[in-house]
Structure formats: structure tokens, C-alpha cells
Amino acid sequence: MDQLRPDLVPHPAVRRLSLYLRQLELFRRKDRRTVSSKQLGQSLSFTDAQVRKDLAYFGQFGHPGVGYRVDDLIARVRHILGTDKIWSVLLVGAGNLGRALMAYNGFDAKGFRLVAVFDADPAKIGKRQGPFPGSTPADKRSFVIQPLSQLKETTEKQGIRLAILAVPADAAQEVADRLVEAGIRGILNFAPVSLNVPHEIALNAVDLAVQLEQLSFLANFSALSRPA
């Protein structure tokens, strides 16, 4: 696995790997010990062959006649995805979405920890956000909003490698540049713009409008293309 050449792996396969992990964790919560490619596939509407092929890109994890041991496969997939270690993550943008992300407490279980929050607005800088209602008693985290000028220092000091970008569209590219400059290795962009970053920086985007437009397109025609 450590000799894995990730550029030989189909991108869609990596995406599905995350979904397999999510389902496996669900199976484990239900105390399932093993799962077959068929069962795992069905739970996600993929074929069994797809599941086996995807997993086989990364190694031989299964047991013929038995399936995959749930615990074991979870550990393997986490290792492949790199989430068997904890990633420190920073957030830029303490607006509405930013606050929702600060309040979200599903990060830790997935191997991510939000450790710093930045914003350009002087009115917000230095203010403390949180702790948030609904967070577990053990997890009364809160964040002091930092100015962008501290991006590099904080990133280096805290060994942060991933960033979530939740700023207005017209600020996004500039912030992205500064993130790269600060040494960030991957950016999750929620701003509705296409960012330019050096090719060695991992980039992922979530655009609400794009998502809704897909639905709009499909929903317009679902009546027609219904077979039954």
C-alpha cells in the first residue's frame, strides 16, 4: 500500500472508497463481522464487480468464500485514504457557512480536526466563536478568529495541511493564493468560483448552485424517462 501509485488509480475509485468506508462503519455499528462485495455494493447501488475492482486497485483485502472482514477493511481503507492519522484543518471564512462548519462535530470521527479559523473582517477578528450547543460535553471547542496575516505562522506552527475555504466568491482566489503560500496542501472550496492553484495542490469544490442545477436538469426530465 505504501508503494501505491495513486495516479494509476481511477479517480472515481478513490471517491467510491470514501463511500465504502462510510458503509463499512455503518455495518460495524450493526455488529456485522464480514461483508461481501455484493452486500457492500448493494448498499450503495454499485455492482459487486465494481466493489472488488476498486478495492483490488489497492491490495488484496478479501477472503474468498467469506468476503471482507469489516474491521480489517475499515483499517485498510483509512490507511489508503490517509485518515488513520489525524489531519489538522483550518477554515477561512467565519460567515454563515463557516459557523456551521465550526459547529459540526463529525470531523474527529473521520480523522480531521478543525484547529484554526480565519476571517478578513476586522470586526470578527479576535472574537471567540463557540462552544456550540449540541457538541458533546467532552468537546467544548471554540475558536478565536484570526486575521489572514497569521495564516502562514499558524499553519506552520500547527502543522496544518488542509484548508476549507468558505469566503465570498470575489475573495476566494486571493485567499487561495495565500493558503498555497502558507504551505497548505489541499483546499476544499465552497465558494462558487473556479480556483487556480499549482497542480501539486489538491483541490475539491462544492458549489450549491451546481448541485441544485443538476437536480433541476434531472427533475425536468424524470417524468419523461420513467419506464414504468
Which of a copy of itself, DNA, none does 10 bind, CB closer than 5 to 8 A by kind? DNA
**Residue 106 binding: pick among a copy of itself, DNA, none (C-beta 5-8 Å cut-off by kind):** a copy of itself
Residues 192 and 175: beta-carbon distance below 8 Å: no
**Cα gap 111→133, rounded to integer Å:** 22
Draw the binding track, 57-96, toward DNA (x: CB under 7 A; -: no contact). ---xxxxxxxxx----------------------------
HEC profile for 144-199?
ECECHHHHHHHHHHHCCCEEEECCCHHHHHHHHHHHHHCCCCEEEECCCCCCCCCC
Q: Does the protein bind DNA through residue 4 (CB under 7 A)?
A: no
Near DNA by CB under 7 A: residue from 4, 26, 44, 49? 49
Query: Phi first, then psi: what are they for 120, rounded to 5°?
Result: -85, -20
Alpha carbon distance, N-terminus to C-terminus of the chain: 46
Cα–Cα distance, 219 to 4 (Å, whole number): 40
| Interacting residues with a copy of itself (CB under 8 A) | 4, 6-7, 14-15, 17-19, 21-23, 26, 43-45, 80-83, 87, 89, 95-97, 99-101, 103-104, 106, 110-112, 132, 134, 161-162, 185-188, 192-194, 200-202, 204, 206-223, 225-226
Interface residues with DNA (CB under 7 A)?
A: 10-13, 36-38, 46-50, 52-56, 60-68
